[in-house]
Amino acid sequence: MNEKNTECQKIKPEKEYTHLMELIDNLPYIVMTLLGAAVLFLSIQTTPSRWILAGSYVAYGLAGTFWILLFVCPYCHFFDTRSCPCGYGQISAKIRKVQDQSLFNRKFKTHISVIVPLWIIPLVAGIISLSKNFTSLLLIVVVFFAVDAFIVLPLVSRIYGCAHCPQKATCPWMKTKNQPALSEQE
């Protein structure tokens, strides 16, 4: 066990994930992408604009996944192992070589911003559309999107996936009030 592991009292032994477990870990992101596309579709009244916008959001979700695969995973402790909870680490190893793991935090903080708008765009579009042209269907889809994106996805990630990560004590995603700020550790 390395020094980082001893800092974290909840660290568990690394475990290997089956394809079913990887699918479970990916489900909240897949659901968020589909619900986000549905929000955009329902927020726009005209065709083909609504199809183009919804399709573009799904394409953005896919591109975001590949962005993380290309620019974050090669720096991760779980790169090219079955201990990556979502399976990205193995896919990434097919297209990139391993990089310096000490740069993981920096790369994570830099590149996670690329996918943050996925959480914001449908919410903003849905709220604006509801304020102008309220429908019960749109309200329901926006609420489901918000619950999945802001509650289910972070919970699954923290409890199910990242709970086993030896980098969690310093990972920006897992940083909590109980852990020292990154600036204090660097």
Give residues in contact with ligand SF4 (CB under 6 A): 72-73, 76, 78-79, 84, 86, 88-89
CB of 136 to ligand SF4, least distance (A): 37
Amino acid at 123: L
Please write down the long-range contacts of 114-118, taking CB distance under 8 Å and 24 or more positions apart: 114/64, 114/67, 115/64, 115/67, 115/68, 117/60, 118/32, 118/33, 118/36, 118/57, 118/60, 118/61, 118/64
Q: How far apart are the first and last CA of the chain?
A: 21
The 3-state DSSP class for residue 1 equals coil
| Between 54 and 171, CB nearer to ligand SF4 | 171
CB of 10 to ligand SF4, least distance (A): 17
The region that residue 5 occupies, defined by phi over 0 for left and psi between -120 and 50 for alpha, beta otherwise, is alpha
Check whether the bond before 48 is cis (ω within 30° of 0): yes
The residue count of the chain comes to: 186
| Between 39 and 86, CB nearer to ligand SF4 | 86
CB of 89 to ligand SF4, least distance (A): 3
CB of 16 to ligand SF4, least distance (A): 13
Contact yes or no for 85/14 (Cβ under 8 A): no
| Between 37 and 76, CB nearer to ligand SF4 | 76
| Between 50 and 96, CB nearer to ligand SF4 | 96
Nearest one of 107, 109, 101 to 78, comparing CA atoms: 101
| Between 34 and 115, CB nearer to ligand SF4 | 115
CB of 85 to ligand SF4, least distance (A): 6
